[in-house]
């Protein structure tokens, strides 16, 4: 199984992972007025005991230094993370990026933090990373595509979650990271072929939830039914090169038929702000769409600002990973988005460090 990192030939459509949307519906994932984008990917990290949950939306948040005398298997001396400028989708820069993220996590003892905080911090380290469409679909053969130097919206989520879960269990290896990406991206956690990929994001949530990696909390937040038949892929077969193969096409048709049994709910866009006190940083946000046959048009993560507002950190098709400062305003600003679906990653560590103070 190999990873792929070459820049793909882009289709004449706006593509976010497996989510394909005609441009007539507007640019998906753009930053709403007030959103900001930093000039650099990493900021130097001072040695501090605690910092607020988020400094602002202009720079990656600083990592707190936890008590160095606390028990931890990491022998690495605390050190600052270094500046790193994205250089395109190249394997050399990806390897460097991965090492920097993991060394920074080890030096700051992030494994002792709750998973939600680890996810939020890891996500911030990728602010400014370029948006690159179609990375998962450039090869006729299904391979485990991994990229840390360029993302689409789904790849951003999968990457952040896989790195954060590795940090949580103190597995800082690239092999462990790639295994976790595979576990999240494919049905039952195994790559077998194109059809084994979880193309529809509601299917992605359902399958990962079934395996105990996350929980769809939309119903508990007061979600209402999203009455849809999911058939966008087969109805737009020409937009997916792999569906030219009859075997792939028929398999995806079977997947779509089974998804009729998966209940879909969403939070209408005008109700999002009423739920801010029930969301937490690192929650997965999928924007429900009014596009026929499609469930979700964009994805990202909840981001909490210093003043307590809930924003949205995402790989934006407008250019790069950025923070939109208010989640409801972002959803309302993009044509075709009607609300959100919320899933919460579950902390599966046997002993969770929930007693540690938040920063």
Query: What would the DSSP string read from start to end of 4-17?
Result: --SPPPPPSSEEET
d(CA 243, CA 56): 43
Tokens encoding 58 = 């202009």
Any idea what the Cα angle at residue 333 is, between residues 330 and 336, rounded to 5°?
105
pLDDT tens readout for residues 39-76: 222 232 223 222 222 333 334 444 333 333 333 322 22
pLDDT (0 to 100) of residue 350:
83
Helix/strand/coil for 223? coil
**One-character DSSP codes across 37-94:** --S-S-------S---S---SSSPPPPP---TTS--S--PPP-PPPP----SS-HHHH
CB 286 within 8 A of CB 341: yes
Task: Encode pLDDT of 250-308 as tens digits.
Answer: 999 999 999 999 999 999 999 999 999 999 999 999 999 999 999 999 999 999 887 77
Supply the mean pLDDT for the chain. 79
Structure-token pair, residue 296: 């979700």
Which tokens belong to 141? 């053969």
pTM of this structure = 0.78
Q: Which region among 37-41, 136-140, 184-188 has the lowest average model confidence (pLDDT)?
A: 37-41
Give the Cα separation of 204 and 221 in Å (integer). Answer: 20
């Amino acid at each position: 199984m190999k990873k792929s990192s070459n820049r793909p030939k882009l289709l004449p459509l706006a593509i976010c992972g497996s989510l394909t949307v005609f441009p007539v519906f507007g640019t998906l994932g753009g930053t709403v007025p007030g959103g900001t984008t930093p000039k650099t990917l990493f900021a130097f990290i001072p040695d501090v005991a605690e910092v607020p949950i988020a400094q602002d939306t202009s720079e990656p948040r600083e990592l707190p230094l936890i008590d160095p005398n606390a028990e931890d298997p990491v022998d690495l001396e605390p050190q600052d993370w270094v500046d790193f400028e994205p250089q395109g989708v190249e394997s050399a820069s990806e390897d460097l990026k991965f090492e920097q993220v993991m060394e920074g996590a080890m030096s700051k003892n992030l494994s002792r933090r709750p998973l939600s905080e680890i996810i939020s911090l890891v996500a911030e380290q990728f602010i400014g990373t370029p948006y690159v469409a179609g990375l998962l679909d450039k090869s006729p053969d299904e391979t485990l595509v991994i990229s840390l130097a360029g993302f689409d919206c789904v790849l951003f989520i999968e990457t952040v979650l896989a790195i954060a879960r590795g940090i949580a269990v103190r597995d800082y290896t690239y092999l462990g990271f790639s295994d976790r990406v595979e576990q999240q991206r494919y049905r039952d956690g195994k790559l077998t072929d194109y059809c084994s990929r979880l193309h529809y994001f509601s299917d992605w949530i359902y399958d990962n939830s079934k395996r105990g990696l996350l929980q769809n909390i939309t119903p508990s937040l007061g979600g209402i039914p999203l009455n849809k038949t999911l058939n966008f892929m087969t109805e737009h077969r020409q937009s997916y090169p792999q569906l030219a193969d009859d075997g792939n096409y028929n398999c995806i048709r079977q997947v779509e038929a089974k998804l009729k049994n998966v209940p879909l709910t969403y939070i209408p866009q005008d109700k999002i702000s009423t739920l801010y006190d029930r969301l937490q940083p690192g929650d997965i946000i999928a924007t429900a769409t009014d596009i026929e046959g499609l469930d979700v048009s964009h994805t990202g993560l909840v981001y909490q600002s210093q003043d307590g507002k809930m924003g949205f950190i995402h790989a934006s098709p407008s250019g790069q990973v950025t923070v939109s400062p208010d989640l409801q305003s972002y959803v309302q600003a993009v044509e075709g988005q009607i609300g959100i679906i919320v899933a919460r990653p579950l902390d599966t560590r046997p002993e969770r460090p929930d007693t540690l103070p938040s920063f």
